Amino acid sequence: MTTHPGSAFAGLLAPAQEFGDLLRKDFPILQRVLHDEKPLIYLDNAATSQKPRQVLDALNAYYERHNANVHRGVHVLAEEATALYEGARDKVAAFINAPSRDEVIFTKNASESLNLVANMLAWADEPYRVDADAEIVITEMEHHSNIVPWQLLSQRTGAKLKWFGLTDEGRLDLSNIDELITEKTKIVSFTLVSNLMGTVNPVEQIVRKAQSVGALVLIDASQAAPHMVLDVQALEADFVAFTGHKMLAPTGIGVLWGRQELLEDLPPFLGGGEMIETVTMGSSTYAPAPHKFEAGTPPIAQAVGLGAAIDYLTNIGMDKIAAHEHTLTEYAVTRLQEVPELRIIGPRTAVDRGAAISFVLGDIHPHDVGQVLDEQGIAVRVGHHCARPVCLRYGIPATTRASFYLYSTPSDVDALIDGLQHVRNFFG
């Protein structure tokens, strides 16, 4: 760790190093060494997180001792598997402060959660139905998974798709909020934290406006749930979507939280086993939520893994994780700006920003930056990060993104800075 005597970080870096070093002992993959004995420095956490031993053990234990299909069968394994799967739902409900466990729908990822809401609204009765007279509002900083489902809904129904633009500083431009969110708006869907820029968005102002016109609000919390206290009641949204694999859980498990009365009123999307009450050849009636929205055998082991991940995160404390990442972010944005010709895309301070930091380095293409960093054992993401409109907005083809998590340390930041100097020398 580079010491910055007298700087704002003086007292913060050593504890942050200790915090990360202690946690990374739980993550077997972080012990890997790559090309020529370089220790892995994993800075691609906004894409997916690594998994602690505790989560891997829970997955193994499930398959070694309890594996069965859920909600059917009366044998011991079926009952244990059901208890574990539904126990994971309880853990998620507590983690996000949901008023009821029945408001927690398991999906395969955040994309499915977002698509599920779009399809609920496509088939809903009034007043929720999205039709040719309706308007949908999103933002220019969304991940493609919160753009394309709304484009599809708009194309299929004739509804008008509108979006908030971005300021030069990488924030939402709310100056035209009254023109964007109107009496015609049926749904406002936006990300809590930008996956490309790290921007934390002002939820309250958007939610207030949406509520004033009777529009539903869907919040994409994929980049928030892993990193901060997520309280769906405090957000006052109608739906909140996130994914497990970015928060220490396996891939293949996501969550959609929705307000109970909405889940009662809105129609199912996928039909199949588990989501029914009775079936005849002519018609069916549906199980109550959340099962109404969970057709077919769900990702059981993955849900159990998510439960174990939530236990792990909760034991540490989401407030402590958020504080740790804030220190790292502050240190990283400061040090990155010491690198000549480096330009951060997004907020240039740690205020209202998460730990995903995108940048461009002179005219060196991000692919080349990422390749030379990889040679030094440093894993970053390069490209447009499934948020191409952001790149278009700022006139860049792509960015390099470094993103931190609970096991990241100030020395990871130092390695990144040294690595970037090496990139500049290589292409200089």
Partner 1 sequence: MKLDSMYQDIILDHYRNPHGKGLRDGDVEVHHVNPTCGDEITLRVRLDGPVVADVSYESQGCSISQASASVLNDLVVGKNVGDAQAVQEAFLELMQSKGTSEGDEEVLEDAVAFAGVSKFPARVKCALLSWMAWKDATAKALAQQPAVND
398 binds partner 1 (CB under 8 A): yes
**367 makes contact with partner 1 (CB under 8 A):** yes
Among residues 6, 35, 183, 282, which is the contact residue for partner 1, using CB under 8 A?
35
| 269: DSSP letter | S
**Least distance from partner 1 to the Cβ atom of residue 362, Å:** 13
Determine if 397 is a binding residue for partner 1 (CB under 8 A).
yes
Cβ closest to partner 1, residue 157 vs residue 400: 400
Among 375, 379, 411, 421, binds partner 1 (CB under 8 A): 375
Distance CA 322, CA 229 (A): 8
Q: Provide the 3-class DSSP secondary structure of residue 220.
A: strand
Pick the catalytic residue: 386, 411, 417, 422? 386
81 contributes a contact to partner 1 by CB under 8 A: no
- Is 421 strand, coil or helix? helix
Residue range at the interface with partner 1 (CB under 8 A); choices 57-65, 103-111, 220-228, 375-383 = 375-383
381 near 403, Cβ under 8 Å? yes
Sign of CA dihedral 277, 280, 285, 290: positive
Q: If binding is defined by CB under 8 A, does position 427 make contact with partner 1?
A: yes
**294, 274 Cβ separation under 8 angstroms:** yes
* Closer of 265 and 374 to partner 1 (Cβ): 374
- The span from the CA of 109 to the CA of 281, in Å, is 32
Span interacting with partner 1, options 123-131, 275-283, 295-303, 365-373, rule CB under 8 A: 365-373
What is the Cα–Cα distance from 375 to 38, expressed in whole angstroms?
A: 8
Q: Residues 100, 290: contact at Cβ < 8 Å?
A: no
Of 55, 221, 391, 413, the one binding partner 1 (CB under 8 A) is 391
Q: Which is nearer to partner 1, 24 or 384 (CB)?
A: 384
Alpha carbons 301 and 288: distance in angstroms, whole number:
23
Pair 303, 85: CB distance under 8 Å: yes
Nearest distance from C-beta of residue 206 to partner 1, angstroms: 29
Distances (CA, A) of 398 to 25, 163, 166, 361: 34, 22, 17, 11
- 165 makes contact with partner 1 (CB under 8 A): no
361 binding partner 1? (CB under 8 A): no
The residues, any chain, with a CB within 8 Å of residue 256's CB and separated by 6 or more, are 105, 107, 112, 113, 116, 117, 239, 240, 241, 293
Q: How far is the CB of 45 from partner 1 (least distance, A)?
A: 19
- Mask 314-353, x = binds partner 1 (CB under 8 A)? ----------------------------------------
CA angle 206, 356, 377 (to 5 degrees): 165
C-beta closer to partner 1: residue 365 or 393: 365
* Of the candidate residues 52, 254, 366, 410, the single one contacting partner 1 (CB under 8 A): 366
- Is 384 a residue that touches partner 1 (CB under 8 A)? yes
Q: Is 386 a catalytic residue?
A: yes
Query: Smallest distance, Å, CB 375 to partner 1?
Result: 4
Per DSSP bridges, beta strands 135-139 and 160-164 are: parallel
CB of 376 to partner 1, least distance (A): 9
CA 428 to chain centre: 36
- Applying CB under 8 A, the span of 108-116, 196-204, 329-337, 378-386 interacting with partner 1 comes to 378-386
- Total residues interacting with partner 1, rule: CB under 8 A: 17
Least distance from C-beta 395 to partner 1, angstroms?
Answer: 11
Q: Where are the alpha helices (DSSP H) in 246-344?
A: 260-265, 300-316, 318-336
Helix (H) or strand (E) holding 393: helix 388-393
Instruction: Write out the catalytic residue numbers.
Output: 386
For partner 1, the binding residues (CB under 8 A) are: 35, 365-368, 371-372, 375, 382-384, 388, 391, 397-398, 426-427
